Amino acid sequence: MNQFQFPGQTSFYSGKVRDVYTISDKYLVMVASNRISAFDVILPRPIPFKGQVLNQIASYMLDQTSEICPNWLMQVPAPNVSIGHKCEPFKIEMVVRGNLVGHAWRTYHSGSRILCGVELADGLKENDFFPTPIITPSTKAAAGHDEDISADQIISQGLATKEEWDQLCAYTLALFQKGCELAKQRGLILADTKYEFGKLNGEIVLMDEIHTPDSSRYFYSDGFDQRQEKGERQLQLSKEFVREWLIQNNFMGKDGQVVPEMSDEWIQSISNRYIELYEKIIGSSFNGQALSDEETYESIIKALSFIG
């Protein structure tokens, strides 16, 4: 995908998987590319339709949760493009967990019972539900890995005031509850996810993508309890399968390691899995649209002209 240049453009940022254009310091044009990353490394080959899958899940979920919390999104002019308000971001990610999985499990398994200032009960197994969802925030690092942080540290470091933190937590838990309800309708369990917030005209606003397989971990609910009782692995709906393939091929993003060759068949397999993710989470057939750069550009220009 080529880099665009838009009228009134004031900055451009290329992230691991998205290109973000700032217009008149007021709006963001977020283009979800087909790049895929793992272990903080951009893999060498793009995945067909991945950007469209993530963009359309995010826009669907933002619409479904708009009554809970105001959000940044204004228009979706192309399958892989979102346009919205530029906000002043909080430099924290609101990670919320319903199940003991991933980083939380690794911390717990190491013997620690404190995660981001939250005390964890003894006697839990991997993937078990917490008695109630917990918030385990992390700092948004400009480079490298994000780091765990506690509520007290967030307030003492001035990343949010006490009042802002309380509102962020309230929004996070309400959004997570809605995400869990939507997942349940689709035979899924939303195990963990993250939200990013900013301020717009003094108001806290939900930003970025939400409830996508890149920012969330889903389990299949059918058979979950039986698998837990038997100590079996849970069936996941996330991009974890890509990480697992990389690990099996001796790549975890460490110095000196080389990304394994990604065959055409494997690329197509990843694309198919992302489309499956879309159809399972949304509950409707995926309509893949491979627009040219010119068509994408024209659709963005048209949308920006309406926004003014």
In a domain, 255, yes or no: no
State whether 166 and 219 are in the same domain. Answer: yes
- 130 alpha-carbon distance from chain centroid: 21
Higher pLDDT, 243 or 302: 302
In a domain, 182, yes or no: yes
State whether 148 and 100 are in the same domain. Answer: yes
pLDDT at 74: 97
80-114 in b/e form (b: 16+ CB < 10 A) is: bbbbbbbbeebbbbbbbbbbbbbebbebbeeeeee
State whether 227 and 187 are in the same domain. Answer: yes
State whether 34 and 138 are in the same domain. Answer: no
pLDDT of residue 2 exceeding 80: no
Query: What are the Cα distances from residue 282, in Å, to 81, 192, 272, 273, 301?
Result: 18, 18, 15, 14, 28
What's 219's domain CATH number?
3.30.470.20
pLDDT of residue 13 exceeding 60: yes
pLDDT at 141: 65
Q: Which two tokens stand for residue 27?
A: 């709006």
- pTM score: 0.92
pLDDT at 240: 81
State whether 233 and 99 are in the same domain. Answer: yes
State whether 113 and 219 are in the same domain. Answer: yes
- Alpha-carbon Rg for the chain, nearest whole angstrom, is 20
pLDDT at 238: 81
Instruction: List CB contacts of 235: < 8 A, sequence separation 6 or more.
Output: 219, 220, 223, 227
pLDDT at 236: 87
Higher pLDDT, 308 or 217: 217
Q: What is the per-residue pLDDT across 32-85, written as a single tens digit (0 to 9) for each?
A: 999 999 888 999 999 999 999 999 999 999 999 999 999 999 999 999 999 999
State whether 120 and 84 are in the same domain. Answer: no
State whether 117 and 84 are in the same domain. Answer: no
Q: Which of 222, 273, 265, 221 is nearest to 243 (CA)?
A: 273
Residues β-bridged to residue 10: none
What's 73's domain CATH number?
3.30.200.20
Mean per-residue pLDDT for 186-202?
A: 97
Provide the domain limits for residue 77.
9-88+272-307
State whether 98 and 216 are in the same domain. Answer: yes
Q: What is the per-residue pLDDT across 130-187, written as a single tens digit (0 to 9) for each?
A: 999 999 999 976 655 679 999 999 999 999 999 999 999 999 999 999 999 999 999 9
State whether 58 and 162 are in the same domain. Answer: no
Question: Using 50, 70 and 90 to split pLDDT, how confident is the model at 239?
Answer: confident
State whether 82 and 102 are in the same domain. Answer: no
Average pLDDT for the chain: 94
Report the number of distinct structural domains present in the chain.
2
In a domain, 261, yes or no: no
In a domain, 252, yes or no: no
In a domain, 262, yes or no: no
pLDDT at 213: 86
State whether 105 and 61 are in the same domain. Answer: no
pLDDT at 144: 56
Q: Which of 72, 49, 81 is nearest to 278 (CA)?
A: 49
- Specify whether the CB–CB gap between 85 and 220 falls below 8 A: no
